Amino acid sequence: MIRLFAMLFALLAACPAAAMAGPPDAERQAQLLYLLKHDCGSCHGMTRKGGLGPALLPENLRDRPQELLVNTILDGRPGTPMPPWRGELSAADAQWLVEALNRGEGL
């Protein structure tokens, strides 16, 4: 009984995380690209050539560690206007965004 309860609890706890952990589905990807273009774009430029924030073109990101980029999206960069997007974006969302930026997707 206790085992069942614990399993159920673990399952419940894992559920949202599991939903988030996988790569975003096509609909979510479209939402992320829209966010990237229009909201990230207000500082980084809709064409990602930069603005108040730095350019986010593949050649600007090539030499940066992926993990740093993911963390920057999730936690922001203190001392700069880059805000933390955690809460709005999951780790998987941020990971996918970094990959999309590196591919130059949607440009």
Partner 1 sequence: MLSGNGRGKGVRRLFLILSKVAHLRALKKVSAPFSFFPLLFLVLFSGVYHSADAECLTRGTGDLGIVIERASGSVQVVDTTARSSLFRIEGLGDLSHASAVFSRDARYAYVFGRDGGLSKIDLLCGSLVRRVMQAGNSIGGAISQDGSLVAVSNYTPGGVKIFAADSLEQVADLPAADEEGRLSKVVGLVDAPGQRFVYTLYDAGEIRSVDMRDPAKPEVQRYPDIGRLPYDALITPDGRYYIAGLFGEDGLAMLDLWQPQEGVQRILDHYGKGEEKLPVYKMPHLEGWAMAGRLAFLPAVGHHEVLAVDSDDWKEVGRIAVYGQPVFVVAQPGGHQVWVNFAHPLNDTVQVIDTLSLQLIQTLKPGKGVLHMEFSPRGETVWISVRDADVVQIYDTTSFRLLAELPAEKPSGIFFTARAHRTGL
Tell me which residues touch partner 1 (CB under 8 A): 37-39, 41-43, 45-47, 49-52, 76, 79-81, 83-85, 88
Q: Work out how close the CB of 80 gets to partner 1 at its nearest, in angstroms, rounded to a whole number.
A: 8
Q: Work out how close the CB of 83 gets to partner 1 at its nearest, in angstroms, rounded to a whole number.
A: 3
- Token look-up 């952990």 returns 21
Nearer to partner 1, 25 or 39 (CB): 39
102 SS3 class: helix
Count Cβ neighbours within 10 Å for each residue of 31-54 and write b for 16 or more, e otherwise: ebeebbbeebbebbbeebeeeebb
Q: Work out how close the CB of 104 gets to partner 1 at its nearest, in angstroms, rounded to a whole number.
A: 16
Q: Work out how close the CB of 10 gets to partner 1 at its nearest, in angstroms, rounded to a whole number.
A: 31
Name the token pair of 60.
């600007």
Nearer to partner 1, 7 or 30 (CB): 30
Residues 6+ away with beta carbon under 8 Å from 92? 20, 21, 22, 23, 24
